[in-house]
Amino acid sequence: MKSLIAQGAESKLFLEDNEVIKDRFSKKYRLREIDEKLRKSRTRREAKILGELKKISFPAPKLIFNNEKDTIKMEFIKGKLLKNVLEKKSYYKLSEEIGKKVAILHNKGIIHGDLTTSNMFLGKEIYFIDFGLSFFSEKIEDKAVDLHLLKEALESKHYNIWENCFKAALKGYGKYAKDSGAIIKRLDAVESRGRYKGKK
């Protein structure tokens, strides 16, 4: 039996036979041709990224089916949402693991685009989910912005511990990411732009 387990701005998630079905629904305010093109391109891109992650055994849902239009079927990840348990566990160690796994993504030219503990599950290890905003890029700027989004998410959801969490994440990232020095330096520039905009 198929049951709705989550709904976002772009899609609905259903659970059926221990598999997750992600359906991107149409937006009535868009022209039909544009809407179909967007849903198709985003579905194909997400499926391609999940396929690449499967090749390197990255802890993420395994792609099962893609209709190349608006539906993806993938493995159901068992575990607890990291946002609900991070402060109860050894958060410094877990945050370092997050940094390491972001580095693995970036080394493969994959930008997650929504790095938040709401998109991570804790099982035997940390699993990343929801690659709906992900894309391929080797740009240092894109990788720095991805880290900045992680920082903002930690500060928002885990305000009591976020500084130590992000410090640990950068430590893990720095150990494993190619060009980590340049990326972290660019992160400072990204944050400076944000502070400048806030003062205007």
What positions carry a catalytic annotation? Answer: 114
Would you say 184 and 140 are in contact if contact means Cβ atoms under 8 Å apart? no
**Distance (Å, whole) CA 16 – CA 18:** 5
Residue bearing tokens 């976002």: 8
At 160, the amino acid letter reads N
Query: Would you tell me the crossing angle of helices 162-176 and 140-157 to the nearest 10 degrees?
Result: 150
> CA triplet 144, 42, 67: central angle to 5 degrees?
140
What tokens were used for 78?
A: 């068992």
> CA triplet 93, 136, 61: central angle to 5 degrees?
55
